[in-house]
Structures are given as structure tokens and as C-alpha cells.
């Protein structure tokens, strides 16, 4: 099924867990020879045992593909107990030409047979690779790594990137003191909940950075999704505004790092991007790049005792571990091709993707009975609810709701809103 170069899933039945509709189109474009089956989102252990275990066990050459770790624990245990191949999939370290994951196809993906790379509770494939690979015995790889680092830094690309030139008008340019940058994250993200062994907020990091660096300038860049209200915050940046200078303008991380003397973060990839630039990094959690002798680690990881160079860490994390794709055509590409395309499209604008979205099923037409209830009265809810949803979210959310109200509620990440949808539309 898997080669050292790239998974292809050819001829296999892939049970893909926690893939929203827009991700399914991308997955099928990237792996056209596979047959994908999508269990419902937010499947429970009980529902898996009742509705899916037997079907998976009876399938010829089944594979379980899980986004992050978003699958019932019963499904993960079932795969391992029955020797069914299991892969955890996540975005790679060059993601998109937008400032967040959005609904865009990713430039890179990672596939891990053990656990997602950000789960520090156990060893991932990436951790095992970094701990055992003979980098010294692969001079060609190390030359690629050195060139790759130079190209990445010269391009100014990061994990997320806005097309066109970044507006750095509000970048803190004046620097009279040593500058400490705190890179904020989405605090309930799995990279923190699985990568940090104790509760930790961005404000905690700011307070630590300020107390350990008296007299220094402390910059705090909250995560863009938190600033925009797309993701929930667990701490309010205003509570630490007296300790730091908040960076709320759309300044790219590479631009901020250019004037930074030290970085503090929990588990952000931005810490590794700082290492690539020779900037000291303190990590409060245990990201994939911690524990190899390159970072100031505030969380121990006894599994990681090997000393690595930045080039070796880059070679493992950017060249050997991820897989790269052309997000317009879906074709497999190399890291170098990915970097070239991303840098070019950021200047010229990204072409329209050839990956056709999976159509949203039309809502049921008016009928006496069916999923919209007796006499079809729930059709009357559509327009008033669409206005409410547009106010809470945005126009796109309202339009998606109008197309299929049941599907809209079933795919919401907020459990409270899903329960509301189950009350309003109890039957699928």
C-alpha cells in the first residue's frame, strides 16, 4: 500500500474519518485510484461498533485514514487489533496562500502510522525518523536541505501565506531594545492539547517571557484565526497588554522574525521557522522540533535524546516526512516544485483550481413526510434561520445552510449548535 516515497491507496477501500465535504474533493483529487468511504462526522464508539466495524472488517484491503486524531477510539483500537492499516493525516508545513486553512487545497500533507506529528504523548513516525535516520550517510539529502532552507528563507514563505505583497505598514520597525516575540496559537487546538502536558494559554507565555526578560521589548502576535473570531480564545490578549506590544496587523511571521532576538511559544511551527533563521526559541510544550538540542525546552521528552542540526531537522520534517501536491491540478510534486509554485503564485495570483468541489445535496423538496418533519413545516424555518446564521457567521454560512440545512448542522464543529440542529432536523 505505502511506499517510502508517497502513499497512493491504489485499489484499496479507504475509510476516511472526519473529512468534511470540501476536504473529500481534495482527497479524491490527490488519490484518484482509491475508493473512499466516509463515515459520519463525530461518530461515537457505540455507533462505530454498531454500524461500521463489521463493514470495515468484511471489506477487501481496507485502510483507515483519520484527520488528526478525530476518530472514535473504538475505530483506532479496531484497526490495530485486526492489523488493518491506519494512517493519521494532517496538513504539512507549507499549507496555503491564505492566512489560514480556509477551504483551500493544501500544498502538503503528512501521513503517520503511529500518531499525528504534534502528539507528544507517544512517538510519531516523524519522531522515529528524526531519532534514527542516518543523515550523515545521506550527503545528497543534506545538500537538498541546505538549499531548501536558503530557498525557503529567500521566498519569505511560511505555513500560511497571503497572495500578493504583505502589508507591513504596521510592522514594529523601531527597535531600541532586545526584542522578544511571543507567537500565539489557537489554545484549544490539538497541537496544544496533545503537545503540552499541562494547561497553558498564550497569556501564560507572555507573562513568562516578560518575567524572564526584564527591560526587553515583548511583542505578542495572537493567532489570526483568534483575532478574526474564526477560532475560540481561552485567554484575552487585553489582559497582558500592559506587558507587551500586541501585533494585530496582518504582518507575516517572516517579517516579524527579521527583527526578533528570541521567540517564545507553546508548540507553534513558527518556533521552527525561527530556528531556521538562527533565533533562539523557548517552547513551553513539546512540538516535533523540541528535544533535539536546538530549543530551550520547558517540557521534558525522555524519548528524544539525539542531538540534531537545524539542517538535519529540516531534512526530516520538510523533505522526508511530508508529501507535496499541486493544489490546482492535484498532481504529486516535490518540495522544490512546491516552493517554486507557491512563490510564483503569491506574486501573480493563484490560478483557479481544477479540483471540482463535491456538490452539496439539494435539500428535500416539499413533502408531507420525511426528514423535514410532518407536513414539511421545517421548510418554513429556512429563511429566518439563514438570517440568524448569517449574523452569527457570514454570508457563505447562510448560503450553505440554505442549500442543505440538515447537512449544514451535521458538519458544524460546535457541539451545542449540532444539538440545536438535531432538535430542528432530527432525521437524516
In this structure, which long-range contacts are made by residues 326-332, counting pairs with CB atoms below 8 Å and at least 24 apart in sequence?
327/26, 327/96, 327/104, 327/105, 327/106, 327/107, 327/353, 327/355, 328/105, 328/352, 328/353, 328/354, 328/355, 329/354, 329/355, 330/26, 330/29, 330/30, 330/32, 330/105, 330/354, 330/355, 332/6, 332/30
Looking at residue 101, the DSSP 8-state letter turns out to be -
Q: pLDDT at position 2, please? A: 37
* Mean pLDDT, range 407-425, rounded to an integer: 86
Mean pLDDT for the chain? 90
Residue 230 pLDDT greater than 80, yes or no:
no
Please say if the pLDDT value at position 46 is more than 90. yes
The helix (H) or strand (E) run that includes residue 417 is helix 415-424
The winner for highest mean pLDDT among 116-120, 168-172, 229-233, 387-391 is: 116-120
Assess whether pLDDT exceeds 70 at residue 23: yes
pLDDT of residue 392: 84
In order, the DSSP letters of 207-268 are: HHHHHHSTTSEEEEE--HHHHTTSS--SS-GGGGTTTSEE--S---HHHHHTT-SEEEESS-
Provide the CATH topology of domain 139-348.
Answer: Rossmann fold (3.40.50)
Query: What confidence category does residue 171 fall into, taking pLDDT thresholds of 50, 70 and 90?
Result: low
Give the residue ranges of DSSP H helices in 82-231.
Answer: 125-132, 139-155, 190-193, 202-212, 224-227
Rg, Å, the chain Cα set: 23
Higher-pLDDT residue of 54, 372: 54
pLDDT in tens, 312-336: 999 999 999 999 999 999 999 999 9
Q: Domain segments of the chain: what residues?
A: 139-348, 374-424
For residue 250, the model assigns a pLDDT of 82
Assess contact for 166 and 347: CB atoms under 8 A.
no
Look at the alpha carbons of 239, 245, 248, 253 in this order and tell me if their dihedral is positive or negative.
Answer: negative
pLDDT tens digits along 350-364 = 999 999 888 877 766
Q: Quick one: pLDDT at residue 4? A: 44
110 is written with which cell numbers?
503528512
- In the block, residue with C-alpha cell 473570531: 229
Amino acid at each position: 500500500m505505502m511506499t517510502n516515497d508517497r502513499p497512493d491507496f491504489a485499489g484499496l477501500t479507504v475509510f476516511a474519518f472526519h473529512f468534511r465535504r470540501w476536504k473529500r474533493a481534495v482527497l479524491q483529487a490527490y488519490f484518484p485510484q482509491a475508493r473512499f468511504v466516509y463515515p459520519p462526522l463525530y461518530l461515537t464508539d457505540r455507533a462505530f461498533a454498531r454500524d461500521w466495524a463489521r463493514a470495515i472488517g468484511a471489506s477487501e484491503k481496507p485502510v483507515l485514514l483519520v484527520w488528526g486524531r478525530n476518530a472514535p477510539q473504538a475505530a483506532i483500537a479496531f484497526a490495530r487489533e485486526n492489523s488493518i492499516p491506519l494512517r493519521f493525516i494532517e496538513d504539512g508545513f507549507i499549507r496555503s496562500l491564505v492566512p489560514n486553512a480556509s477551504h483551500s487545497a493544501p500544498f502538503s500533507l503528512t501521513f503517520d502510522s503511529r500518531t499525528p506529528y504534534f502528539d507528544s504523548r507517544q512517538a510519531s513516525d516523524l519522531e522515529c525518523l528524526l531519532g534514527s535516520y542516518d543523515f550523515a550517510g545521506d550527503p545528497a539529502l543534506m545538500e537538498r536541505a541546505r538549499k531548501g532552507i536558503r530557498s525557503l528563507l529567500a521566498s519569505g514563505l511560511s505555513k500560511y501565506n497571503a497572495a500578493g505583497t504583505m502589508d507591513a505598514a504596521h510592522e514594529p520597525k523601531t527597535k531600541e531594545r532586545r526584542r522578544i516575540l511571543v507567537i500565539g496559537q489557537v489554545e484549544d487546538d490539538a497541537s496544544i492539547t496533545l503537545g503540552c502536558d499541562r494547561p497553558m494559554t498564550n497569556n501564560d507565555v507572555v507573562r513568562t517571557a516578560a518575567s524572564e526578560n526584564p527591560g526587553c521589548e515583548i511583542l505578542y502576535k495572537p493567532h489570526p484565526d483568534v483575532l478574526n473570531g474564526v477560532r475560540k480564545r481561552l485567554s484575552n490578549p487585553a489582559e497582558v497588554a500592559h506587558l507587551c506590544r500586541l501585533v494585530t496587523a496582518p504582518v507575516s511571521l517572516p517579517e516579524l522574525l527579521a527583527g526578533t532576538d528570541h521567540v517564545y511559544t507553546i508548540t507553534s511551527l513558527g518556533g521552527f521557522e525561527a530556528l531556521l533563521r538562527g533565533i533562539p526559541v523557548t517552547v513551553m510544550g513539546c512540538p516535533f522540533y523540541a528535544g533535539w538540542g536546538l530549543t530551550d525546552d520547558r517540557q521534558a521528552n525522555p524519548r528524544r535524546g539525539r542531538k540534531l542540526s537545524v539542517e538535519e531537522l529540516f531534512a526530516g520534517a520538510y523533505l522526508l516526512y511530508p508529501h507535496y501536491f499541486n493544489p490546482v491540478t492535484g498532481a504529486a510534486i516535490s518540495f522544490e516544485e512546491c516552493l517554486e509554485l507557491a512563490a510564483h503564485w503569491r506574486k501573480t495570483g493563484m490560478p483557479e483550481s481544477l479540483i471540482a468541489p463535491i456538490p452539496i445535496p439539494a435539500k428535500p423538496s416539499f413533502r408531507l413526510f420525511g426528514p423535514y418533519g410532518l407536513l414539511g413545516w421545517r421548510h418554513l424555518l429556512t429563511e429566518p434561520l439563514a438570517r440568524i446564521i448569517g449574523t452569527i457567521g457570514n454570508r457563505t454560512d447562510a448560503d450553505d445552510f440554505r442549500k442543505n440545512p440538515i447537512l449544514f448542522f451535521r458538519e458544524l464543529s460546535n457541539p451545542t449548535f449540532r444539538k440545536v440542529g438535531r432538535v430542528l432536523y432530527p432525521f437524516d
